[in-house]
Structure 1
């Protein structure tokens, strides 16, 4: 549990840092550099004995779960303050639940309640707020990131059941797939021309995000996940959000309608609680 708490705090800094330091750089370039660094961190763990079919699946899955996710996630900062990016990432577990249910053909109206409640919470925060039009665009882009990450998790779960392989090796291949995907996007968009404009301070932020937040963070998270039960892990998946909101509003001097934020976040948190309760019930059946 200590490892999960540490990583939650580690990740919470990312939202304010990205908004404050990197929004002037092309999202595809930031994503590519972050994923390339992360791939380099995991490179020593690659095993070349993985069969070709599995390797291709992992490369494609990495491109979706991490490549598309980071690209859309970083892009959302062009429209949203850091604390809202943090709040709106809470939808990911709900998408995991919904996608898994659709693929397993087990979705019912009761399972839709947490999703509807979370949408209501998001509406409270955004409705008639300053820059609400831009926030709506950012919200939609961020949901693309959440969906990509959710679909990747469901896909990886199914791959894990089909193949008996080393998790760290799988992650290494997935990050390479993600890095390759984003490098292709950078070439298509020609955003690589912005590399020369990155300041030393911004390079330090990118190094932190790629090596520490992603590389070390995911490794510690996977270690901590083995030490707790499923219910605790479900709760910890969203534990970084209150830290991220607090850091964004204090350390990074972002401004928010506190009453609206508190009410909307409470609704979203309630939806997450309902979802985790449903998952526990489902696991016990």
Structure 2
């Protein structure tokens, strides 16, 4: 759980970095593919040939969990305001719980209460008025949420019987993510919006190597060490963390501190409800 908290804090900074230095200045598809390519580069030294079925599974996991997630996410910006987009990401814990139940072949029971409580807490923090024409954007962001949740649970499920070190798996993981985002970039990118300034390049380097590369490695490894309830709830802890980082480091404004506090209490309560030890037996090999 400590590792997931650390990655949550790390990812909380990325929203402000993207909003301040990349959004509207660097093409979305170029930015996303750059991040995936940089992450792939740091894992290439750990690449080694594996059975083609395992290779395809890991590439598919990366393509879904990161590649498709980002493609749906960035496309949803054409239909949603930023507050709407953030609001609609609160459903991710529900998808995590759903896929965990499907992979475990069980009827949903205890998993749903913490996930729904986490969604309620995030909704208190991020609730805002909705525009009239948001259904298409809503569908896109739910597709992003579902892809991210499915990838997390699928990776966690694979870890029960995959002896490969995480660093080797992630070489294949980011190959899949780079392949799908790179294809989208070639088809849809605006090549007039390249990262031309040292600041933009530095931010992309940080986001690619640290936030995407090391961040997703840490999150995926951490997901194998907690139960599905805890993983579901932790998906929404990024919302209050991102708000606090924006306030402290980028002078953002919070107009309703009581609502923020109440939402955080709900999510912490959700974590308390799912405090029982993990039921997943993951490989204990040193990575």
Please classify the TM superposition score into its range, dividing by the shorter chain length. 0.7 to 0.9
Deviation of 1:260 after TM superposition, in Å, equals 3.2
- What SS class does the counterpart of residue 257 from structure 1 fall into? coil
The residue aligned with 2:266 is 267
Within-5 A mapping of 1:113-262: 113-127=113-127, 129=128, 141-189=140-188, 191-196=189-194, 198-219=196-217, 225=222, 230=226, 241-258=239-256, 259-262=258-261
Looking at structure 1, the residues matched to 225 and 160 of structure 2 have their Cα atoms a distance apart, in angstroms, of 19
Moved more, 92-101 or 30-39: 92-101
From 275, 279, 283, give the equivalent of 1:283. Answer: 279
Q: 1:115 to 1:218 in 2, by over 3 A?
A: closer
Within-5 A mapping of 1:17-32: 17-24=17-24, 25-32=26-33
- What SS class does the counterpart of residue 165 from structure 1 fall into? coil
Moved more, 7-16 or 130-139: 130-139
Looking at structure 2, the residues matched to 88 and 272 of structure 1 have their Cα atoms a distance apart, in angstroms, of 21
The residue aligned with 1:37 is 38
Q: 1:98 to 1:247 in 2, by over 3 A?
A: same
- What SS class does the counterpart of residue 164 from structure 2 fall into? coil
**TM-score, normalization: structure 1?**
0.76
Q: Work out whether residues 39 and 212 of structure 2, in 8 Å CA contact, stay in contact via their aligned partners in 1.
A: yes
Q: Work out whether residues 7 and 220 of structure 1, in 8 Å CA contact, stay in contact via their aligned partners in 2.
A: yes
Looking at structure 1, the residues matched to 142 and 247 of structure 2 have their Cα atoms a distance apart, in angstroms, of 23
Deviation of 1:205 after TM superposition, in Å, equals 1.0
1:59 and 2:51 are equivalent in the alignment: no
Deviation of 1:101 after TM superposition, in Å, equals 0.5
Q: 1:246 to 1:140 in 2, by over 3 A?
A: farther
Moved more, 112-121 or 209-218: 112-121
- What SS class does the counterpart of residue 106 from structure 2 fall into? coil
Looking at structure 2, the residues matched to 241 and 133 of structure 1 have their Cα atoms a distance apart, in angstroms, of 24
Deviation of 1:138 after TM superposition, in Å, equals 6.6
CA deviation string 1:121-156 (max 9, x = no partner)? 4444455x3566689877764443332122112222
**TM-score, normalization: structure 2?**
0.76
Deviation of 1:209 after TM superposition, in Å, equals 0.2
Count of residue pairs brought into register by the alignment: 275
**Unaligned regions of 5+ residues in structure 2, if any?**
281-287
Moved more, 244-253 or 165-174: 244-253
Looking at structure 2, the residues matched to 117 and 203 of structure 1 have their Cα atoms a distance apart, in angstroms, of 39
Looking at structure 2, the residues matched to 95 and 148 of structure 1 have their Cα atoms a distance apart, in angstroms, of 9
Deviation of 1:199 after TM superposition, in Å, equals 3.3
Q: Work out whether residues 67 and 181 of structure 1, in 8 Å CA contact, stay in contact via their aligned partners in 2.
A: yes
- What SS class does the counterpart of residue 48 from structure 2 fall into? coil
Looking at structure 1, the residues matched to 134 and 208 of structure 2 have their Cα atoms a distance apart, in angstroms, of 26
The residue aligned with 2:285 is none
CA deviation string 1:2-60 (max 9, x = no partner)? 86665443322111111222221333222111111101111111012x01111111111
**Unaligned regions of 5+ residues in structure 1, if any?**
none
- What SS class does the counterpart of residue 148 from structure 2 fall into? helix
Of Structure 1 and Structure 2, which has the larger fraction of its residues in helix? 1
